[in-house]
Chain A
Amino acid sequence: MSSLQQVNPTVRGIRASAHTRLHRLATHIAQDITQDITQGALKPFKEVIDVSAGDPHTAGFKPVTFVRQVLAACLLPRLLEEETLPLDVRRRAQRLLEACEGGSVGSYTASSGMCHVRQSIAEFIVRRDVGVPSHAKDIFISSGLQRALMVFIKLLAGGQEETRVGVLTPVPCPHTLPALLDEARLALAPYRLAEGRRWAVDVDELHRALKSATERCKPRAIYISNPGNPTGHVQDRKSIEEVIRFAAAERLLLLVDEVYQDSVYGPGRRFISYKRVLFEMDGEYSDTVELVSFHSLASAHMGEGGLMAGYMELVNIDPEVMHFVDTMLCTDISTPVTGQLALDLMVDPPRPGDLSFDTYSQEILLTRAVLSQNAQRAQEFLNDLPGMSCQPAMGGIYLYPRLHLSPHIIEKAKTLKVEPEDLYCQMLLEEKGVLLGAGCQYGETAPSYHLRLCILVLPDTLEEVLARLASPPSTVMAALPAREGRRHGEHFVTHQWCPLC
């Protein structure tokens, strides 16, 4: 029968996620607290605050009203005959139901997604990219970014040992990415983003990383997220062009995660898609560079991760390969219809003049304002904390501050066989009831330590988190040897908690 030895070695080899472990711990602590409070025990904190990953509705943001109203009408078509919902909502629901087989969200759809929605997405892309053509047939819907990416990287997979296919992956990268690559048996070839320059992409580093990677694997693709997850960097046109030229010269497939495209707040920064930049370059690039770009409902404005839908647009990909994308999606058939409909609403929201426009735009603007405010407030605060430094973010939903850890903590982590950031997050969680994400600096020779903080939270929540991070020393502090940080003298005197040694 099955025992540990018989488990698929590939699955055994999927690296453990610090995120999962910490999350479990957070759940236990939260349960303990509830018990303790009911028993009247005093705790240093009333509840656990999870700011490790983006989940806006959990954080207290309201869903977009228009989206929920249309979906409700699609689920319960009887609502179309009543006047409870605004007319534009009912009209849109009607149109969407007509696109569903049997007029029901309960029917299967084509494996690559509903034609109607793919068409809407194509039209959205044309509008967004100011005229660059986009076609429904190049758009594939799947149940979120992870799955879309998985389909594509499974296509790439092949080879063993030195011939194993590799993907150039940024350091830092989204915390879910390494496990995904492990599962597909792809080698991870890291390239460092330039922290000192707000996590910019450094083309020289790309070359270095590629050269180093070719000794261990066959790099076939480069993954990049823009706006950066978790760095918050937003590339300008010049930077995007450099990456495209690199990919072209080295014959690499570009896998571009653009999920946070609607969240750019850095002054003077705008989101510009890889596709648009590509098309505005010479024919030698625009006709040949292979690009797959990803988007999903887990964007900041929508926050509808639980509806599980996203899409990828394939550019300059061999039609035979596209055929296989479809085949792979056939074995999946896992994108819920409600999610697909939500995609339609995401890419084609109410327009000025529509009944629902005012409410819609208010909701979007509010989210954007909160994000921008939080980004600034948190970055300044964290940067001022002794033992921490933080690059300003220009977009996305995270900050990625750097930790200057004491050798003591690093040693302790080694004994416990966990990463130092992991241990730090655990201490933070147990001490202060705040769950941050542990940074992910795999394969680095000169280690630096980071945390991931989700700033897509209500301002009050952020203030609470920051207050807890700044509060008086605790066991973490007590465990540290005397500080040499006289340059932070004032901060030290004001008893700000710091891990610096």
Chain B
Amino acid sequence: MFAIHETSPNVRNMKQLQYAVLAKRASRIKEEIRQRVRKPFKDLIEVYWGDPHRGGVKPLTFVQQVLAACVYPQLVDSDELPVDVRQRAELLLKGCAGGSVGSYTATQGVPQIVHRISEFITRRDGGAPCDPENIYISPGSQWGLMNVLNVLVDAEASPRAGVLTPRPCYLTSNQSMVALGAVAVPYDLCEERGWELRVEELRRALESAEGVCRPVALYVINPGNPAGHVQSRKSMREVIRFVSENRLFLLADEVYQDCVYGEHSEFVSYKRVLTEMGPPLSDTVELASFHSASKGFMGECGLRGGYVELVNLDPAVMKYIYTLFSADSCAPVLGQFALDLLAKPPQPGDPSYPLYKEETQRIRSTLVRNVKRVFEVVNSLPGLCCQPVEGGAFAFPRLHLPPKAIRRAEEMGMQPDMFYCTRLLEEAGVLVCPGCEFEPKEGTYHFRCCIMVPEDVMEELLRRLTSFHTQFMTDFS
């Protein structure tokens, strides 16, 4: 009856992630370890996803305590939890109908939380005003991105709508665009210059789209994923001028804004830069900026809390944004709460502040150290090199594979970096994400590795990588 050829063509055009293949193998290996099969490693190090808790980073105590008290308010009455935890839980529950996280909330999110997010944005952006009406909480940033794209992209238009996307870029975002009927138009980040975004390349990409599709938006990830570049103000101003000249909607994925390590790097939001540029740009450039509770120190990917701030949209268009977001009732309430804690963490003087500070400092210093170590170790290995990671959650080393290895991969019907990653998993018990998942430039091979893991795990990872890589290069020389 309902066979594959009857499936919507937009869906059929979506590429399959290699993850499923690796995940299956990883499961099998874990099972074998459980059954005490002899292996050269005692456990798997899984650094495929940007998932700090999976990697072993501990959740923040304040977050855990507040959320538990919200779910089971009887805890609020007990003396076990610090006063500020109990107060925050009470405050959050007051914003819920029936005082329960099980109730639906307003489509945009609990009003008090939306408000606190807008205050957070204003503080972050040195006073730039932020209207709560422009904020929509969503279950994770990707979902918010889909909704905005849905308004911009007419699947039945001819020529099709195009979205300029970075290369490399994680497959899921491109897939979402394809599913909506858009065309992803890649612009290359410059690897040799630390994966910098260059406006000339944006122009080239735009020209390449002529006759193929009609570009409607530019998608930028800052700090980058998988490439850990952090844009300079100058670069961001150029991007803003570019989108203005070419009447493109600017989609700024800023979920890694809390993860900046480079000594000379600083995160500045697109909203701030835009505001500082003043009219007419600040009044006309259309911008959607995405953030989430999944990344940064909170790392609560599983709670599904994200938001989008929409700037300079026509009010009539905003109406349709509302329609799309309201199709799903609301974002998960606990995810909304996590965002609230992100927007307003414990402050000096609060009982929970010392512990909160200690935990976040520890995570931060771990990440700074990890980034340094990855850079050192990876660059010391022949056939492997890595740009400095200025920000984000990942390192994205480049593989210079010997021709013999490339041939073997081809014989096996695999992408060369997928072949490398499969071997790395089987022989060293390290699960990373192959570069082919990022639509890379032809003939270049990479892998992406999450650096949000405890220090000892990173050391172990680097040790295994070194030993595996050396052997691999010897085997295929």
Where the two chains meet, the residues of A that have a C-beta atom closer than 8 Å to any C-beta of B are 1-4, 6-12, 14, 16-17, 20, 55-61, 63, 68-69, 71-73, 75-79, 82, 84, 100-110, 143-144, 146-147, 150, 154-158, 160, 176, 179-180, 183, 185, 220, 251, 253, 288, 290, 297, 302-308, 317-318, 320-321, 323-324, 326-328, 330-339
User: Which of A106, A144, A320 meets B302, CB within 8 Å?
Assistant: A106
User: Which of A55, A297, A317 meets B97, CB within 8 Å?
Assistant: A55
List, in ascending order, chain B residues with CB within 8 A of A17's CB.
Answer: 326
Cross-chain contact B104 with A106 (CB below 8 angstroms): no
List, in ascending order, chain A residues with CB within 8 A of B175's CB.
Answer: 327, 330-331
What are 30 A-B contacts with C-beta separation under 8 Å? A1-B249, A8-B151, A8-B153, A10-B155, A14-B327, A56-B98, A71-B72, A102-B53, A102-B54, A106-B302, A108-B301, A108-B302, A154-B8, A176-B327, A179-B327, A180-B327, A305-B103, A305-B329, A306-B104, A307-B332, A321-B7, A324-B4, A324-B12, A327-B17, A331-B14, A331-B179, A334-B139, A334-B143, A337-B302, A338-B334
Cross-chain contact B72 with A7 (CB below 8 angstroms): no
Q: How far is the CA of A434 from the CA of B148 in the complex (A)?
A: 35
CB of B89, distance to nearest CB on chain A (Å):
11
Q: Which of B152-210 contact A (CB under 8 A)?
A: 152-156, 172, 175-176, 179
Cross-chain contact A107 with B328 (CB below 8 angstroms): no
CB of A100, distance to nearest CB on chain B (Å):
7
Residue of A nearest to B49 (CB): A108
Cross-chain contact A107 with B51 (CB below 8 angstroms): yes
Given contacts A105-B303, A110-B23, A146-B327, 19 further A-B contacts (CB under 8 A): A7-B320, A11-B150, A12-B320, A55-B98, A57-B97, A57-B102, A72-B69, A76-B64, A102-B55, A147-B328, A156-B2, A157-B10, A183-B327, A306-B102, A308-B333, A321-B7, A328-B14, A331-B179, A334-B142
Q: How far is the CA of A355 from the CA of B328 in the complex (A)?
A: 36
Q: How far is the CA of A326 from the CA of B175 in the complex (A)?
A: 13
User: Which of A3, A103, A253 meets B2, CB within 8 Å?
Assistant: A253
The residue among B2, B46, B57, B140 with the most chain A CB atoms within 10 A of its own CB is B2
Question: Is B351 close to A, CB under 8 A?
Answer: no
- Total contacting residues, chain B, CB less than 8 A: 91
List, in ascending order, chain A residues with CB within 8 A of B156's CB.
Answer: 9-10, 160
List, in ascending order, chain A residues with CB within 8 A of B323's CB.
Answer: 11, 14, 16, 179
List, in ascending order, chain A residues with CB within 8 A of B54's CB.
Answer: 101-102, 104, 107-108
Residue of A nearest to B138 (CB): A334
List, in ascending order, chain B residues with CB within 8 A of A12's CB.
Answer: 320
Cross-chain contact B317 with A7 (CB below 8 angstroms): yes
What 1/0 flags go to B44-86 for Cβ under 8 Å of A? 0010010111111101000011011101100100101000000
CB of B237, distance to nearest CB on chain A (Å):
19
CB of B452, distance to nearest CB on chain A (Å):
11
Residue of A nearest to B301 (CB): A108
Task: Evaluate whether A321 and B102 lie within 8 angstroms (CB atoms) in the complex, with A7-B320, A179-B327, A308-B332 already known.
Answer: no
Q: How far is the CA of A297 from the CA of B333 in the complex (A)?
A: 13
Q: How far is the CA of A8 from the CA of B152 in the complex (A)?
A: 6
CB of A392, distance to nearest CB on chain B (Å):
28
Q: Which of B88-118 contact A (CB under 8 A)?
A: 96-105
Question: Is B304 close to A, CB under 8 A?
Answer: yes
Residue of A nearest to B304 (CB): A336
Residue of B nearest to A221 (CB): B2
Question: Is B412 close to A, CB under 8 A?
Answer: no
Instruction: Please list the 5 inter-chain residue pairs (A to B) with the smallest Cβ-Cβ separation, ordered nearest first.
Output: A337-B302, A72-B72, A57-B100, A76-B68, A58-B97
CB of A223, distance to nearest CB on chain B (Å):
14
CB of B328, distance to nearest CB on chain A (Å):
6
Q: How far is the CA of A3 from the CA of B320 in the complex (A)?
A: 11
Question: Is B330 close to A, CB under 8 A?
Answer: yes
What 1/0 flags go to B214-254 for Cβ under 8 Å of A? 00100000000000000000000000000000010100000
What 1/0 flags go to B310-342 for Cβ under 8 Å of A? 000110110010011011111111110000000
CB of A324, distance to nearest CB on chain B (Å):
6
List, in ascending order, chain A residues with CB within 8 A of B52's CB.
Answer: 106
Where the two chains meet, the residues of B that have a C-beta atom closer than 8 Å to any C-beta of A are 1-4, 6-12, 14, 16-17, 20, 23, 46, 49, 51-57, 59, 64-65, 67-69, 71-72, 75, 78, 80, 96-105, 139-140, 142-143, 146, 150-156, 172, 175-176, 179, 216, 247, 249, 284, 286, 298-304, 313-314, 316-317, 320, 323-324, 326-335
CB of A56, distance to nearest CB on chain B (Å):
8
User: Which of B20, B67, B150, B286 meets A1, CB within 8 Å?
Assistant: B286
Task: Evaluate whether A331 and B176 lie within 8 angstroms (CB atoms) in the complex, with A71-B72, A320-B4 already known.
Answer: yes
CB of B30, distance to nearest CB on chain A (Å):
11
Cross-chain contact B7 with A155 (CB below 8 angstroms): yes
Cross-chain contact A328 with B11 (CB below 8 angstroms): yes
Residue of A nearest to B177 (CB): A331
Residue of A nearest to B101 (CB): A306
Cross-chain contact A11 with B324 (CB below 8 angstroms): yes
List, in ascending order, chain B residues with CB within 8 A of A307's CB.
Answer: 101-102, 332-334
List, in ascending order, chain B residues with CB within 8 A of A143's CB.
Answer: 139, 304, 328, 332
CB of A50, distance to nearest CB on chain B (Å):
9
CB of B383, distance to nearest CB on chain A (Å):
31
CB of B67, distance to nearest CB on chain A (Å):
5
Task: Evaluate whether A3 and B332 lie within 8 angstroms (CB atoms) in the complex, with A11-B150, A318-B3, A333-B142 already known.
Answer: no
Q: How far is the CA of A163 from the CA of B12 in the complex (A)?
A: 19
CB of A53, distance to nearest CB on chain B (Å):
8
List, in ascending order, chain A residues with CB within 8 A of B1's CB.
Answer: 251, 253, 288, 290
Residue of B nearest to A180 (CB): B327
Task: Evaluate whether A317 and B2 lie within 8 angstroms (CB atoms) in the complex, with A8-B150, A180-B327 already known.
Answer: yes
Q: How far is the CA of A220 from the CA of B3 in the complex (A)?
A: 12
List, in ascending order, chain A residues with CB within 8 A of B335's CB.
Answer: 336
List, in ascending order, chain B residues with CB within 8 A of A147's CB.
Answer: 328
List, in ascending order, chain A residues with CB within 8 A of B49's CB.
Answer: 108
CB of A485, distance to nearest CB on chain B (Å):
39
Q: How far is the CA of A83 from the CA of B247 in the complex (A)?
A: 61
Cross-chain contact A305 with B104 (CB below 8 angstroms): yes
Q: How far is the CA of A471 from the CA of B391 in the complex (A)?
A: 65
Residue of A nearest to B4 (CB): A320
The residue among A59, A105, A110, A335 with the most chain B CB atoms within 10 A of its own CB is A105
Task: Evaluate whether A306 and B105 lie within 8 angstroms (CB atoms) in the complex, with A106-B300, A336-B335 already known.
Answer: yes
List, in ascending order, chain A residues with CB within 8 A of B299's CB.
Answer: 106
Cross-chain contact A154 with B327 (CB below 8 angstroms): no
Cross-chain contact A158 with B9 (CB below 8 angstroms): yes
Task: Evaluate whether A331 and B146 lie within 8 angstroms (CB atoms) in the complex, with A57-B103, A306-B101, A306-B330 already known.
Answer: yes
CB of B457, distance to nearest CB on chain A (Å):
11
CB of B190, distance to nearest CB on chain A (Å):
28
List, in ascending order, chain A residues with CB within 8 A of B142's CB.
Answer: 331-334
Cross-chain contact B68 with A327 (CB below 8 angstroms): no
Residue of B nearest to A318 (CB): B3
List, in ascending order, chain A residues with CB within 8 A of B300's CB.
Answer: 106
Cross-chain contact A327 with B11 (CB below 8 angstroms): yes
Q: How far is the CA of A100 from the CA of B299 in the complex (A)?
A: 14
Cross-chain contact B23 with A105 (CB below 8 angstroms): no
Residue of B nearest to A8 (CB): B154
Q: How far is the CA of A330 from the CA of B7 in the complex (A)?
A: 17
Q: How far is the CA of A14 from the CA of B154 in the complex (A)?
A: 13
Task: Evaluate whether A339 and B332 lie within 8 angstroms (CB atoms) in the complex, with A2-B313, A2-B314, A108-B51 already known.
Answer: yes
User: Which of A58, A75, A318, A335 meets B4, CB within 8 Å?
Assistant: A318
Cross-chain contact B59 with A104 (CB below 8 angstroms): yes
Cross-chain contact B249 with A144 (CB below 8 angstroms): no
CB of B61, distance to nearest CB on chain A (Å):
9
List, in ascending order, chain B residues with CB within 8 A of A326's CB.
Answer: 20
Cross-chain contact B284 with A59 (CB below 8 angstroms): no
CB of A349, distance to nearest CB on chain B (Å):
16
CB of A173, distance to nearest CB on chain B (Å):
15
User: Which of A288, A306, A317, A318 meets B332, CB within 8 Å?
Assistant: A306
User: Which of B3, B53, B80, B103 meets A101, CB within 8 Å?
Assistant: B53
CB of A312, distance to nearest CB on chain B (Å):
14
